[in-house]
Amino acid sequence: MADTESIKELFLRRLQKVLSIVSLATVVLLLLQVTTGIAGPEWFRLYLFPVLLSAAVGYLTNYIAIEMLFKPYERREFHWIRLATFGLWRQGMVPANKDKIGRVLGEEIPQRLLNPEAISAELCETAADFTSNPAFIERIRKSVQVLLNHHKERIAAFLVPQIQSSLKEALRENFTAANLQLFWDRVLARWLDRPENRQLLSAGIVSGLKAKSPELCELLRRTMHDGVRDYVNTRLPFLPRSGEFAAGFVAYLDWDDIRRQVERKLEDPSLQELIGSELAHQSERFRAWIASPESEPQIEGFLNGTRVKLEHFLRDYLQRVIPATADQILNSEALWDWVKNELLPQVQQHLNYWLRNNGKRLVIEKLDLSRRIENSIREQDVREFHAMINAVAAEHLGAIQVLGYVLGFVIGLFQVVAGFR
C-alpha cells in the first residue's frame, strides 16, 4: 500500500512538471503570436493551439488560486501574484485572516472535534486510575528509593539537626525542677508510701548486699587493715613498725566466718524492716528538701548537666541511627503495603470526590482549548503552516491543478468542435 502511494505521488509530481512546461510554453507561444504575428500552421492555429491555451488557462488559474491561499506571506509592494492581479491581491488569504481563522477554529474545534468536557473526564479518570495501578505504585517506590538513597547523607544531615532541635526543646520544656518535683510526688513518693513496695525494695537491697557479701568483707578487711596501721603509727610513732604489727592482727581474723555472720544478719527480718523504715524516712526528707529553696541551685545544676549529657547522647545516636533507619524504612515491605492498602485508597477516594465536584471544571478552565488553539494559530509562522499543509495535502493540491488542465483541455476541445458548426 505504501509503495502504491509513493508511485502515485511520483507520477503526479512528474505529470505536474510536464503540464507546467507545456502550459508555460503555450503562454510563450501566445505572446509570440501577439507580438510577432507568427501563428504557425493553420491546423495548429485553428485546432490544437486553442485547446492547449484553454488547458493552460485552467492549469495556471488553479495554480495561482492555490498560491493565493498563502502568498504573499506579508504585505509587499512587489510580488508576482500582486502584479498578476493588477495590485488587488496584497497578501495571501490565510496570512491576512490568520487571527480570524484562529478565533473561528478556537470556537469550532472544541464544539465539533475536541469536546473539553470529554477530555477533562478522560484525564480525571486516568489520574484516578493511576493511584490503583500496581505498576505505577512500583515505579513510585523505585523512584523514591533511588532518589532518597542517592541523597541519603543530605537527608540525614537535614533530619538530624531538626530532630535534635525538637528533642532538645522537649528536654528544656519538660526536664525541669517543677516536673522533677511533680514526678517525685505523684510517682516515686506514692510508690514508696506503700509498705509492700518498701518491703519489696528492702528485699532487693538485702539480696543485692548478700550477693556482694564477699566483696563487702574484702573491702572491710582492707579498710580495717589500713585503718589500724595508720591509727597505731599515728598514736605510737616512737615504736617502729608498730602499725604493721597491729594490722597483722586484722589478717588473723576469720573473714569467712565474718562473711557468713554478715549474710545471716542480712537475712534477719528486722534488718529489712529497718531498711524499709529508713527508706520511708529518707523519702520524706527528700520530699521536704526538693520543695525547699536551698535545693534549687543543686537541682538546676543536676538538670543542666543531665540535659547536656542527653543532648550529646541524642546527637551521636541520631547521627549513627538515622541513615540506617531511613534505609530500613524505605526498603520495608510494611511501609509500601501501608501505602498501597491504606494511603492510596484514601488518596483515590478524596481524588475521586474532588474530580466529581471541582476537578473537571478546573481541568476545563486550565485546558482552555479555545484560547490555546487561537494562540497557537496566531503564533504559528505562516511559512511553517504552509509547509505543513503541503506535507498533508500536496497530492490533492497537485491533483486540483491537473484537473484544471484537464477541464480546460475539454472546454477548449468543445470550443473547437463548436467552431466546426
pLDDT by 10s per residue, the chain, length 421:
556 767 777 887 888 888 888 888 888 888 877 777 766 677 777 778 888 888 888 888 888 888 877 777 777 777 767 766 766 667 777 777 878 888 887 888 778 777 777 777 777 777 767 666 677 777 777 777 777 677 667 767 777 777 777 777 777 777 677 777 777 777 777 777 787 877 777 778 778 777 877 887 778 777 877 777 777 777 666 666 666 766 666 676 777 777 788 777 777 777 777 777 777 777 777 777 777 777 777 777 777 787 777 777 777 777 777 767 766 766 777 777 777 777 777 777 777 777 667 777 777 777 777 888 778 877 878 888 878 877 777 778 788 888 888 898 898 888 888 776 5
- Count Cα atoms within 13 angstroms, Cβ side, for 24: 7
- Alpha-carbon distance of 292 to 289, in angstroms, equals 5
Q: Which of 291, 316, 349 is the last residue of a domain?
A: 291
Q: Which of 276, 291, 306 is the last residue of a domain?
A: 291
Peptide bond just before 269 cis, omega within 30 deg = no
Q: Is residue 83 part of a domain?
A: yes
Q: What is the CA radius of gyration of the chain?
A: 53
Q: Is residue 146 part of a domain?
A: no
**Number of domain units in the chain:** 2
Residues 6+ apart with CB under 8 A from 56: 22, 23, 24, 26, 27, 405, 408
Q: Is residue 73 part of a domain?
A: yes
Q: What is the pLDDT of residue 101?
A: 80
Q: What is the pLDDT of residue 1?
A: 53
Q: Is residue 16 part of a domain?
A: yes
| Domain encompassing residue 58 | 2-96+381-420
Q: Which of 291, 323, 341 is the last residue of a domain?
A: 291
- Alpha-carbon distance of 316 to 320, in angstroms, equals 6
Please give the distance of CA 11 from its chain centroid, rounded to a whole number: 55
**Are residues 84 and 191 located together in one domain of the fold?**
no
Q: Is residue 386 part of a domain?
A: yes
**Are residues 287 and 179 located together in one domain of the fold?**
yes
3-state SS class at 140: helix
Q: Is residue 344 part of a domain?
A: no
Residue 79 backbone class (left: φ over 0; alpha: ψ -120 to 50; beta: rest): beta
Residues 6+ apart with CB under 8 A from 30: 53
Which residue has cell 491561499? Answer: 69
Q: Is residue 29 part of a domain?
A: yes
pTM of the model: 0.46
Q: Is residue 106 part of a domain?
A: no
